[in-house]
Amino acid sequence: MQSFIKLIFKLAFLLGAMFASAQDISGTWKGNLSVQGMELPIVFNISQSDDGYTTTLDSPKQGAYDLPTDKTVLDGSTLTITYAQIGMEYTAIFANGKLQGTFKQSGQTFPLNMTKGEKKEKLRPQEPKKPYPYIAEEVTFENAKAENIKLAGTLTLPKDVKNPPVAILISGSGPQDRNEELLGHKPFLVLADHLTRQGIAVLRYDDRGTAKSEGDFSSATSFDFATDVEAAMAYLQTRSDVVDINKIGLIGHSEGGLIAPIVAARNNNVAYCVLLAGPGVDGKTVLLTQGKRAAELEGYPAQDIAASQEASAKLYTISANYKGETSKKEMKAILHDLKTKITSEKGKAELTDDVINQQVEAFTSPWMRTFMSYDPKVSLQKVNCPVLAVNGEKDFQVLPKMNLEGIKKGLQHNKDVTIKEFKNLNHLFQTSETGAFSEYANIEETFAPVALNFVSDWINARF
């Protein structure tokens, strides 16, 4: 689940959380940004296809890899790479085998010259390689509740199991592809591979407006995403040739763990739910506790953390009770006041007017306003199917004890509930030292086997 408070504090973190032919400009380009006296290596991986160029970004020092940018254009010798969501633009002249240009973001401009190098591949030993010992079928299905947008995904089927139970995977917040790819990891690919090898079919799909799926992601809320899940269920109901349509379950990660109970509460044909680091308290509480723990892990002064918590609480309340431009003005005033209270020079310098404007837009988006005001217990109280809720001990994004307890209370009427907290695992269910975001990309493990096995054993024990 995205940590908005970190966006308030840290421009350098934004650079890592966002991010490179011919003349042949395709290939791996490397350079260094000088940010407040710190050298920040930046890598653009540029690929060419029939449709033009695409670029992913690596920020190795921050542990960020393979982050997709929006648009790459080569006009003559001028290269432009943009990522609109975070206001990033790189413009450079390609000459003599080098890129000479400027990197702009959040109102700041940095010189960034780049040379070609070799792409350093991150080891991901759990990522399955073809040929798979099961069937992998590309599928599409329509959401009749969303103007019949087509969603694209992959259905994996055990070869030697007739009509197996099936799981629909539901991703966390932000636009995610069917593999829930993040920082070079593909958690849903690894999870789907494991489950299918254990006799459980899996349907995973690209979020609306992402990769091969149609639709508008930016205007959608958790309740809109719930209709996408229901469209996936409706599709599986037509596939009695390959799966048991009476054993369709939902596995949601992070925000997906909020969406799964929403769907199960209004659809009695959901056979089971698995909530992976799902929230058990309202969105305001999730983000406040997430922001505090994230700042602690990054070593911010206690005074700055306290000031940010106070400001965030006000912002989240305004978001939940949004009143148009009046609310935006109130938010800007709070953020400008926060800048006067921050003690570190780094924090003051990074809270620019552009960053403040970006935060206001984020806090007032349809998704955020819905998330802030929704208590998951509303849907949990109506879920009657078996539920497994698990989290990692070191999850800073969805704090385990508070959220698992909230889920338990919401499901107190349910007769088949399993709650499990895994020692040393983080929000992605990787074995970690501190659980900090900065560790995600540097950990080779994508999904701890102990958690994978627990999920598949729990499903197979019931079906």
pLDDT per position as a tens digit, 352-404:
888 888 889 989 999 999 999 899 999 999 999 999 999 999 999 999 999 99
pLDDT tens profile 22-78: 457 899 999 998 876 678 899 999 998 777 899 988 887 766 777 788 899 998 899
Least confident of 275-284, 317-326, 409-418, 420-429: 317-326
Q: Average pLDDT of 327-332?
A: 95
User: Given this model, what pLDDT does residue 354 score?
Assistant: 80
pTM for this entry: 0.81
pLDDT at 152 over 80: yes
Least confident of 122-126, 153-157, 326-330: 122-126
Please give the Cα distance from 250 to 163 (Å, whole number): 17
Classify each residue of 85-95 as buried b or exposed e, where b means 16 or more C-beta atoms within 10 Å of its C-beta. Answer: ebbbbbbbebe
User: Given this model, what pLDDT does residue 12 score?
Assistant: 32
**27-41, 111-125, 237-251: range with highest mean pLDDT:** 237-251
Which positions ≥6 away from 130 have C-beta within 8 Å?
none
User: Given this model, what pLDDT does residue 65 score?
Assistant: 74
Please give the Cα distance from 210 to 213 (Å, whole number): 5
Q: Map residue 38 onto helix, strand or coil.
A: strand
How does the average pLDDT of the chain come out, rounded? 90
Domains of the chain listed by start with CATH number: 13-117 (2.40.128.20), 134-281+375-462 (3.40.50.1820), 283-372 (no CATH)
pLDDT at 235 over 50: yes
Decide: 132 and 123 in contact? Cβ < 8 Å.
no
Decide: 286 and 398 in contact? Cβ < 8 Å.
yes
User: Given this model, what pLDDT does residue 105 score?
Assistant: 83
Which tokens belong to 337? 């006041």
Decide: 335 and 5 in contact? Cβ < 8 Å.
no
